[in-house]
Every structure is written in structure tokens, then in C-alpha cells.
């Protein structure tokens, strides 16, 4: 079962009260509670096996949206202040400066805004089993490849 703390959620606020100018006032710094790293599109069992290893680590999720595949690390920025404001606003990195609230996690939680979202080993493993009919045989295949590589070295 997944840890509910690791899901990025939105608050239940009357939409009419929220504008682009004040949206951040209602937010709990959702965009500052994780980092993402773009990934090469996984196509092979080996690539998905690496993703499975990554998702096996606490706070690591994988998702695919219209822009591609991403590794998501649930880790809050150390400069978010208790009032959810930026403690280094004047010297914040460019990625923070470029972030727009026009379409953000406040509007749509990440688990609803993606084509695919895997926050647990089990969910990604189930996906892999459906995607690859021989998923369970990948370990045998890997061991055979390792044995061949050792033979070549001799």
C-alpha cells in the first residue's frame, strides 16, 4: 500500500476565489515538494527493469505525460518557509523563475495529470507484466547474457 503523504494533492477551495495572481497564496508549495528528471523513453525490458529498481526506493516515482517520461523524487525544497513562501526568492534558480502557475499541481494533481504514473513497485511491475509477455523470463535472459559476456572475456 502506498504512503498517502507521497501523493501531491490539491486543496478544496472555491474556484471563483482563485485567480492567476493569487493562486500561489492558496497553495502549500506543491511545486517545491519534488524534483523531476527527464528520462529517455523506456522501450526495453532492461530499461523498465531499471525503472522498477528506482521506484523500489522510497519517495521515487515515475510518470509519463505528453512531454515524455520522468523520474520524480518526492523531496521538499529546503528553502520553503513555514508559510510556504520561498526563503531565497531573490536568488532562486532559473527553473523556479521560469515556473508558471498557469497549469500547475494546484489545478490538477500529478497522479491525475499524467498518461501513466507509478508510485509503487507493484504498480510498475503490473504494468511491465502487461506490456511484456515474457517479463518473468527477463532474469533468465539477463543471466544468459552475463554468462556469454564472461565466456568472451576468457
pLDDT digits 0-9 by tens, 92-116: 999 888 887 776 777 777 778 889 9
55 pLDDT band, cuts 50/70/90, is: very high
Q: Which of 111, 101, 105, 127 is nearest to 63 (CA)?
A: 111
Strand (E) or helix (H) holding 125:
helix 121-131
* Domain parsing of the chain, residue ranges: 4-153
What pLDDT band is residue 61 in, cutting at 50, 70 and 90?
very high
Q: Which range (38-42, 74-78, 128-132, 142-146) has the least confidence?
A: 142-146
Cβ partners under 8 Å of residue 149, min gap 6: none
Q: What is the mean pLDDT of residues 55-82?
A: 94
Query: Of the ranges 14-18, 22-26, 40-44, 101-105, which one carries the lowest mean pLDDT score?
Result: 14-18
Amino acid at each position: 500500500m502506498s504512503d498517502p503523504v507521497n501523493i501531491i494533492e490539491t486543496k478544496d477551495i472555491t474556484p471563483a476565489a482563485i485567480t492567476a495572481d493569487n493562486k500561489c497564496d492558496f497553495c502549500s508549495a506543491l511545486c517545491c515538494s519534488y524534483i523531476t528528471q527527464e528520462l529517455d523513453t523506456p522501450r526495453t525490458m532492461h530499461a523498465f527493469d531499471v525503472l522498477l529498481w528506482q521506484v523500489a526506493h522510497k519517495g521515487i516515482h515515475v510518470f509519463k505525460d505528453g512531454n515524455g517520461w520522468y523520474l520524480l523524487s518526492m523531496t521538499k525544497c529546503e528553502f520553503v518557509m513555514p508559510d510556504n513562501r520561498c526563503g531565497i526568492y531573490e536568488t532562486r534558480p532559473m527553473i523556479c523563475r521560469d515556473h508558471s502557475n498557469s497549469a500547475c499541481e494546484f489545478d490538477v494533481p500529478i497522479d491525475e495529470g499524467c498518461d501513466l504514473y507509478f508510485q509503487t513497485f507493484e504498480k510498475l511491475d503490473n504494468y511491465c507484466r502487461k506490456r511484456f509477455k515474457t517479463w518473468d523470463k527477463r532474469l533468465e535472459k539477463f543471466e544468459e547474457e552475463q554468462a556469454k559476456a564472461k565466456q568472451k572475456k576468457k
